[in-house]
Amino acid sequence: MSRGTVLLVDDEPHIPLVLGRKLEGAGFSVVTAADGEEGLMAATESRPDLVITDLQMPFMSGVEFASALRGHADLSSVPVVLLTARGYVLPEGEFEISNIVRVLAKPFSVHQILEVVEQLIGGGRSEAA
């Protein structure tokens, strides 16, 4: 039984691949998407417990994607972790309008990502079932 579903959205294919393997190994279900538009479709289908997204992607930035999730009734409370290579500092108001709960710099450690996932949704669905 899954501990929860994590949606990984990144246009660099190796990131969802590596993170996905680590999260699946820890008992989480993983859904991947290559950009914000694909991520939005995947989110509406999979109803993830957590989203991890890159900041810079084609079609829709990570912040735009997170804001779009917030605007969707069924996804408005899903927490979002934003990955960025630029040392991006999110303006304080962006947290409230986008459900971004963490900003992590690339390069990151997969262990660091797993710790964040554990903190945010660690109990997951299986413990409640």
* Alpha carbon distance 99, 25 (integer Å): 26
Domains in the chain: ranges and CATH = 5-124 (3.40.50.2300)
pTM: 0.88
* Alpha carbon distance 26, 120 (integer Å): 14
What does the pLDDT read at residue 28?
A: 95
pLDDT in tens, 5-41: 999 999 999 999 999 999 999 999 999 999 999 999 9
